[in-house]
Chain A
Amino acid sequence: DQQVKQNSPSLSVQEGRISILNCDYTNSMFDYFLWYKKYPAEGPTFLISISSIKDKNEDGRFTVFLNKSAKHLSLHIVPSQPGDSAVYFCAATGNQFYFGTGTSLTVIP
């Protein structure tokens, strides 16, 4: 039972353009959402988070948007850089912790 879903397993974007990664969740009790970035042979690295009381959080080139009514969050990366190429996981937490299955982002120079 996937409580956090990332329906796009992969995404390719040209350098300098916007990357939009999407995530859907099912449990309205989740109160905190996070995005992690993972390079091969490394553990996930925390990227950005958002509380359920907010609808947007920004950190440099990274912005996370939360739409509670749609149970949807997205990560925007602007401008995309080749070093952003990695697998991105969204995660949600309430009493438990759930991760999506990841989206592999490739930024083409």
Chain B
Amino acid sequence: DAGVIQSPRHEVTEMGQEVTLRCKPISGHDYLFWYRQTMMRGLELLIYFNNNVPIDDSGMPEDRFSAKMPNASFSTLKIQPSEPRDSAVYFCASSLSGYEQYFGPGTRLTVT
């Protein structure tokens, strides 16, 4: 298996623009997680899905953030409008059990 695939790997955008991050989980995994990593706050869980249904989005920082999982093989995290403080590395992870998670390589987002 190719593992969790994230795109793009790097994104540079201007403040106010819409940003869409994409994730393809490992086939057969029922759980999908979105995380954000910053120097100040470490690795934070934003939202997770089970069988394509959002289970807990309490980590989503603001209404500017939204996530969808239209099918078992694809998820998006959207930021609209983006702000400089959104600059971080965003990770997607998938899991069969909900415990051991397999992470993608991350998307480094820079908002100028």
Is the pairing of A and B real?
A: yes
Whether A59 is near chain B, meaning CB under 8 Å from some CB there, is no
Looking at B60-68, B71-79, B101-109, the stretch in contact with chain A turns out to be B101-109
Identify whether the interface residues of A are mostly helix, strand, loop, or mixed: strand
Count, chain A residues at interface, CB 8 A: 20
Contacts of B33 in A (CB 8 A): 97
- A19 → chain B, closest Cβ, in Å? 20
User: Contact mask A24-55 → B, CB, 8 Å, 1/0?
Assistant: 00000000101010000111111001000000
A66-82 residues with Cβ-Cβ distance < 8 A to B are none
The answer for the CA separation of A49 and B100 in the assembled complex, in Å, is: 8
Interface residues of A (CB under 8 A from B): 32, 34, 36, 41-46, 49, 89, 93, 95-102
